Structure 1
Amino acid sequence: MGFSSGISERQRRLGEELRRARDAAGLPALEIGRAIGVKGPAVSHIEAGRMGLNIDRLNIWLDLCNVTDPAYRAGLTVLSRSSGKGWWNGYRHHVVPSALDLAEFESNATSLDTYETLMIPGLLQTKGYSEVILGYSERKVEFRLRRQELLSGVNPPPLRAVIHEAALHMMFGGPTVMREQLDHLIEMSKQPNVTIQILPFDCTTYASSETPFMLISGPHARLGTVLLEHPHGSAFIGDPEAVATFDRKFDRLRSLALPPLSVATPSSSTARRDSLGLIQHVRYKVQGR
């Protein structure tokens, strides 16, 4: 075991899960250290993500903490075995570390739930829209488009998106860019793994809907992660209670949003009260600009 040169969110998350297991079992770090054959502050370094843990030592740790759920153990094994290497490593010098962490989490996600307020979710953006949002940085735009390949690959994870109506009216890039973006939302909704809903302006129920976030489901319910967007950057949250809170919040937002886009039953009116009708209505107004 050696120190990691840079701690990824995956490494940090594995350490957090091991600490939670040890705390739940009421075991001191010294006892865990003796069992896995390490000395000094090594257990603290493992729990902080600064040191790795091979599979044999991981199993000893979990056995000692009486962690018996096979699916949960398998999920921790995936976290421990992962090298953290993937297509995203080629963009290490072009995007912020949290973007790399997000791409790594997405690569192992079993489902993705995202809520956006003033922008179209990154996984649903067109190239032209992304260029405006990312300041026409070629490599950053390329990185975002590579992330989107996840949705059309082999066994793609389900994506459920709730988008506030405000995002449809923000003219980022001008009318032409926005028309293409609105058309793209309709096209993406045709994919069986993509569900898009719009939270309308005239929603009369407050649902604490001002902060964008993404729920990333892992290989086990206890390994879900929330990516929380705020003005100072991005934060990953893995605390099970916090994840459950955001899961309930997303369900609430879905219940308040208009019915999902469905091109199987096209609207005969641009003002139809579903997500497709609202997008078509906004696109009609944009087209007149």
Structure 2
Amino acid sequence: MGFRTDISERQRRFGDELRRMRNAAGLSSAEIGEVLGMKGPAVSHTEAGRLGLNLERLALWLDACNVTDPEYRTGLVALCNSNGKGWWSEYRPFVVPAALDLAEFESTATGLASYQTHLIPGLLQTRGYTEVIHEYTERKVEFRGKRQQVLTAEKAPPFHAVIHEAALHMMYGGPAVMREQLNHLIEMSRLPHVTIQILPFDCTVYASTDTAFVLLHGPHSRLDTVLLENPHGQTFLGDPEGVAAFRRKFDRLKGMALPPLDSTTSGPSAAFRDSWGMIQHVRYKLLER
């Protein structure tokens, strides 16, 4: 089998999981290779994602490392079978690799959580808003629209978004675009699996809220992944301690944010102290512009 030339993040993550469980079991590359009938260098290439692993050898690897959790084993089988290809593959020439990897993770996620500071989360953006963000690059706009279908699929995963109030006030595209975007947030909140909360400016607790991130839940908590967004690009994080830290951070953000947007409310609430009231307040101000 030849080396992979394009390694997807899921394939890289599979290799990381193999290495973590081997180290936890106290086995060297040569020792696990002897169990699998592989040479040490082949084991290293497999853990780096450059080589695939068939299911028979995966089972031997898991048994040698005393991995018995059935959900974790099933999740690893899915990672093992991943070839990195899907509807997103046709967009490879038009978007950055991290966007392709994110689309692949979203396609298999059992749950999604997003914290955004100055932007509306990509899965909740209107086409007009996305066009401004992507400078009217048609294929990038089209790609984001395809990604959003994960929320309207038959078995859509639960999606929880915490959005900083700053994102509601950014006039990307002008008042008309933002009014449409705020209306769309209300409409999306009608979906039973979508939860939207606003983190207000007047929050008096600091929770290191400067970095936007997405938490992608896998079939087992050990297979959860975090996507960090920063000025230097996007970074995927899969080590258990790092992911656990962002789970705790998201739980804290949920507690600091206003109560979730309730689309069944007939009007803005008193003093705008819930997410519905906050969005309506900003929306009404836009009508004056």
Query: TM tier, shorter chain?
Result: over 0.9
TM-fit CA distance, 1:264 = 1.5
> One-letter code of the match for 2:179?
R
Identical columns (%): 67
> One-letter code of the match for 2:182?
L
The aligned length equals 289
- Secondary structure of the 1:41 match is helix
Alignment match, 1:101: 101
Query: 1:72·1:220 contact (CA, 8 Å) conserved in 2?
Result: yes
Separation in 2, partners of 1:15, 1:276: 43
TM-score for both structures, normalised by structure 1? 0.98
Q: Deviations over 1:50-107 (max 9, x none)?
A: 1100000101111111111111010000000122211001101000000000000000
Q: Deviations over 1:169-203 (max 9, x none)?
A: 00000001000000000000000010000000000
- Secondary structure of the 2:198 match is strand
Name which of structure 1's ranges 2-11 and 261-270 shifts more when overlaid on structure 2: 261-270
TM-fit CA distance, 1:34 = 1.5
Query: 2:114·2:161 contact (CA, 8 Å) conserved in 1?
Result: yes
Query: 2:95·2:140 contact (CA, 8 Å) conserved in 1?
Result: yes
Query: 1:2·1:52 contact (CA, 8 Å) conserved in 2?
Result: no
> One-letter code of the match for 1:245?
A
Alignment match, 1:39: 39
Separation in 2, partners of 1:140, 1:97: 12
- Secondary structure of the 1:265 match is coil
2:235 matches 1:235: yes
Alignment match, 1:82: 82
TM-fit CA distance, 1:286 = 1.0
TM-fit CA distance, 1:265 = 2.6
- Secondary structure of the 1:75 match is helix
The 5 Å alignment of 1:160-239 reads 160-239=160-239
> One-letter code of the match for 1:190?
R
Query: 2:190·2:263 contact (CA, 8 Å) conserved in 1?
Result: yes
Alignment match, 2:146: 146
TM-fit CA distance, 1:39 = 1.7
- Secondary structure of the 2:272 match is coil
Query: 2:88·2:103 contact (CA, 8 Å) conserved in 1?
Result: yes
Name which of structure 1's ranges 214-223 and 80-89 shifts more when overlaid on structure 2: 80-89
Query: 1:218·1:225 contact (CA, 8 Å) conserved in 2?
Result: yes
The 5 Å alignment of 1:90-129 reads 90-129=90-129
Separation in 1, partners of 2:185, 2:33: 52
TM-fit CA distance, 1:268 = 4.5
The CA RMSD measured in Å over matched residues stands at 1.0
Alignment match, 1:259: 259
CA 1:109–1:274: 2 relative to 1, 3 Å? same
Alignment match, 2:57: 57
Name which of structure 1's ranges 265-274 and 236-245 shifts more when overlaid on structure 2: 265-274
Q: Deviations over 1:10-36 (max 9, x none)?
A: 111000000001000000100111211
Query: 2:268·2:280 contact (CA, 8 Å) conserved in 1?
Result: no
Q: Which runs of 5+ in 2 are unaligned?
A: none
> One-letter code of the match for 1:31?
E
Query: 2:11·2:83 contact (CA, 8 Å) conserved in 1?
Result: no
Q: Which runs of 5+ in 1 are unaligned?
A: none
Separation in 1, partners of 2:232, 2:169: 24
Query: 1:117·1:212 contact (CA, 8 Å) conserved in 2?
Result: yes
Query: 1:270·1:278 contact (CA, 8 Å) conserved in 2?
Result: no
- Secondary structure of the 2:219 match is coil
CA 1:267–1:273: 2 relative to 1, 3 Å? farther
> One-letter code of the match for 1:238?
G
Separation in 2, partners of 1:136, 1:242: 36
After TM superposition, what 4+ stretches of structure 1 lie above 4 angstroms from structure 2?
268-271
> One-letter code of the match for 1:7?
I
Name which of structure 1's ranges 51-60 and 79-88 shifts more when overlaid on structure 2: 79-88
TM-fit CA distance, 1:114 = 0.2
Separation in 2, partners of 1:268, 1:45: 57
Separation in 1, partners of 2:261, 2:288: 23
Name which of structure 1's ranges 43-52 and 265-274 shifts more when overlaid on structure 2: 265-274
Query: 1:271·1:281 contact (CA, 8 Å) conserved in 2?
Result: no
Separation in 2, partners of 1:161, 1:258: 12
